[in-house]
Structure 1
Amino acid sequence: MSENAPVNQSPSPHPHQHPQSPGLPSLKGVIFASVVGSVLVLAAAVLFALLPGALSEARDFRAARPCSEASAPEKGDCLAEWPATVVSTETGRSNKTVTNWVTLDGEAEEPPFRVRMRGRGPVWEKLTPGDRVTVLSWRDVVWAVQAGELRQDTIDEPGRHATVRLAVGLALLIVGTVFLRGAGWLHRRRAIRATDTPTAQVVVVMVATLLASGIAVTAAVATDALWLVLLVGAAGCATVWTATALLLRGFARRQEA
């Protein structure tokens, strides 16, 4: 055999892989958006599943009457008021958030106990040991402390958990839906091998997501009526996404021109 004869080389065990075009959405990006969106939507579903009980408690609290006006069968579900003496006030930290606590002596009604207040004022910041206050409770839960004409709610105020769950659930649902739609959008771009980077469109969608979430959360905090929250949230989302779609179409026409 001639020394210059070509040498047969064994084929590579791995097929030749074409490098991904710059700017082409990666498969990891599609999977990441799908997973994040699914997790957020699932978390929203869990919060919504826990919502009926919290909403029922909030309705019962709003319908409760003062114990002085309630009949005997309603005792326990009425709004109780009883005097207490301030033992001490203190601050703490929970998840990098400053917490405000007051220790009260219920005398004959209750042994000394601690209550976490919502914020610093208008009552907590003015309390000193020995001050006389009025404790407001419902179903053995202290929901507010009153000093003279001033009243401040505690973090255990009935109905607050329902508001938080509804607001967070709506925000998670909106953001999760956007991630899922984004995953579909990235998958379509991979299918047509689009390599351009539409930065403006991405920014518009991000701003629209924040705006729609803000509208839904504001509605949940502003009113206790569930139907009104859902109506305002749906109307806000529809308006925001309609405006977003029109704006994105305008961007697309400019690129084609």
Structure 2
Amino acid sequence: MSQPSLAGVLRSTVATVLTLLAAVVFVALAVVLVVTQVPDGTRDLDAYRAAPRCPSAPARPAECRWTREFTVADVRLTSRRGRLDTVTLTGADGHRWETAYTDRGPVIGDLGRGDRVTGTVWRGRLTEIAARGESQDTDAAPADLRARSLIAGLIMIPPGLLVTAACVWRLGRRAGPSRGMVATLGLAVGVFFAGLFSPLVANAVGEDFWATAAVWLPAAVLLAVGARVYTTRGNGLAR
């Protein structure tokens, strides 16, 4: 843990108050996200999975899924942070569809100009492409917002509460920051990064909250043990 910088936040009353306010806002945003998204977070996804195949090409955005052939007009793969890979598809009618993807597998990484793919259109959005026996969702495909919001809550709420506890503890104590306060603040930082990396480790099963929590929990326990050891056995700030 970075004792000097964390202790510095707790030594300054102004810095502690500002950190406390930021933590409260952080937790409040996460709670609002969870409360608003969890109840109906799978509504569109469930509707998409249950949608029947269209008997013919719909004249307007429809609830059924329409499958048709497309030709790849352009593929743009990027490594720039915050940018998505894109593929431009052309239908038999000449209409161009711009699609974007969060990763390159298992389809778009092997696509080239002129290749043929099968696309699925739902509610006027191109949601999925398939080629060579593999399929891949576009960023327009409905997502499990319930899992996403719960994972976001896991990332944001525990560290936010720990920071809040450390700051309230410090403001209620006249003496300087104790080792326990610094350990709590350091634990918050560690738990936050554990939350960020847990979905990446659990990504093999998709956006699954329970798989993410199964990765996050052991890391959080180890960090808590480390914070406890730091508090009881370390030297430096008096408790």
TM-score normalized with structure 2 length: 0.70
Q: Please give the per-residue CA displacement for 1:124-163, whole angstroms capped at 9, x wherever unaligned.
A: 2322232211002333222221112122221122115544
Displacement after TM superposition at 1:239 (Å): 4.8
Q: How does 1:61-210 map to 2 (within 5 A)?
A: 61-62=48-49, 64-67=50-53, 76-91=62-77, 96-108=81-93, 111-189=95-173, 191=174, 193-194=175-176, 201=183, 202-210=185-193
Counterparts in 2 of 1:79 and 1:115: CA distance versus 1, 3 Å: same
Q: Does 1:35 align with 2:21?
A: yes
Preserved contact between residue 175 and residue 209 of structure 1 (Cα < 8 Å): yes
Q: How many residues end up aligned between the 2 structures?
A: 224
> Any conservation in 2 of the 1:90–1:100 contact (CA below 8 Å)?
yes
Q: Distance in 2 between matches of 1:166 and 1:219?
A: 14
Cα 1:219/1:43, change in 2 over 3 Å: farther
Letter in 2 for 1:128: G
- 1:223 to 1:118, Cα distance in 2 relative to 1, 3 A: closer
Cα 1:222–1:132, aligned 2, differ >3 Å: closer, same or farther? closer
RMSD: 4.2
More moved, 240-249 vs 82-91? 240-249
Report the alpha carbon displacement of residue 234 of structure 1 after superposing the two structures with TM: 9.9
Measured against aligned partners, the alpha-carbon deviations of 1:144-184 in whole angstroms (never above 9, x if no partner) come to 21112122221122115544333223312222212211211
Q: Any conservation in 1 of the 2:180–2:231 contact (CA below 8 Å)?
A: no
- Relative distance call for 1:43 and 1:233 in structure 2 (3 A) is farther
Give TM-score scaled by structure 1 length: 0.66
User: Which one has a bigger Cα radius of gyration?
Assistant: 1
* Matched letter for residue 101 of structure 1: T
Distance in structure 2 (CA, Å) of the matches to 1:23 and 1:238:
23
Query: Any conservation in 2 of the 1:174–1:213 contact (CA below 8 Å)?
Result: no
Between 78-87 and 30-39, report the one with greater CA deviation.
Answer: 78-87
Which residue in 2 is equivalent to 1:55? 42
Of all paired residues, the percent bearing the same amino acid is 20
Residue aligned with 2:172, SS: helix
- After TM superposition, the structure 1 stretch with the greater mean CA deviation from structure 2, 35-44 or 146-155, is 146-155
**1:211 counterpart = 2:198:** no
Unaligned runs of 5+ residues in structure 1 are: 1-21, 70-74
Query: Structure 1 residues 244, 80: closer, same or farther in 2, change over 3 A?
Result: farther
Structure 2 SS opposite 1:171? helix
Separation (CA, whole Å) in 2 of partners of 1:23 and 1:146? 53
Aligned partners of 1:99, 1:46: CA distance in 2, in Å? Answer: 27
Equivalence map 1:9-20=2 (5 Å)? none
Amino acid of the residue matched to residue 97 of structure 1?
G
